[in-house]
Amino acid sequence: MAAKSVSREDLKGTVYELFILGVSILSIVNLVLLAVFSFKSQYWWVVAFMDIPLTLILLWDFSYRLRTAPSKRRYLVRGGGVFDFLGCLPALRVFRLFRIVRAVRVIRRLGGPRVIREMRSEIASGTVYLVVFFGLVTLEVCGLLELHFEMNAPGANITTGGDALWWGYVTATTVGYGDQYPVTTGGRLVGLVMLSVGVVLFATLSGFLAQAFLSRKAQAEAPPASPAQEALQEVERLLAEQQRATETLRARLAELEQAKA
């Protein structure tokens, strides 16, 4: 039973599971912050606004798992699908803890060497997930800090949670409309961090997209593989499947040994 669980979760990709783990942890942190900040204060609104994209990501994750599950009923009843759906509801965000527990269990069952190996093989998709996750974290943290420095400053124009997030996104994308800007020293230092991180993230994403398009073009222009090359690729595929099956069997045997102990 456990071996099947590992295979099903591994089908989603190790990097993808780590991304969902990070989003789930961030959403739980935001749940705590919503309880700490005064209700409907400007800090509270920053966290509340940032929870919207997190909820959309988790809702998409639920639909993706449900759509690709070999048995939808089993996923909903025994695979935690019900908790995944409940965690998407704003009033029941605490159920997102089950996502964290499941992701940690899957990663532990896969083992450190396999996780690192698959992260290297999925570096392209991992780049996109990394950009999205760190973009969300940077926007929220810098938004809260910017609001802290600017909200009560004389002549400030960043005085609400919406102002802080709008300024942060415009700064990160290097658009710079100029309608919102910091007037304090602390706010400008936060802007420096936001601009630097934003440039790095968007440059990384642009480089990935360019490489993806060039790779597809090169594959389209490449000559068809010879019968010998196709046979070699098939052998490599079979060897990879055998290796995955062996690792799954080892994980199952380790669980049985732990259960006996």
225: left (phi over 0), alpha (psi -120 to 50) or beta: beta
Digitized pLDDT (tens) for each residue of the chain, 261 residues in all: 344 444 444 346 778 888 888 999 999 999 999 999 999 999 999 999 999 999 999 999 999 888 888 888 888 888 788 999 999 888 888 999 988 888 888 777 767 677 777 677 766 667 788 888 999 999 999 999 999 999 999 999 999 999 999 999 999 887 878 888 899 999 999 999 999 998 888 887 777 777 666 656 555 555 565 666 676 777 777 777 777 777 777 767 777 777 776
User: Per CATH, which fold does 123-215 belong to?
Assistant: Helix Hairpins (1.10.287)
For the chain, give percent helix, strand, coil, nearest 5. Answer: 80, 0, 20
Residues with Cβ within 8 Å of residue 239, at least 6 apart in sequence: none
What pTM did the predictor assign?
A: 0.73
Q: What are the structural domain ranges in the chain?
A: 1-121, 123-215, 223-261
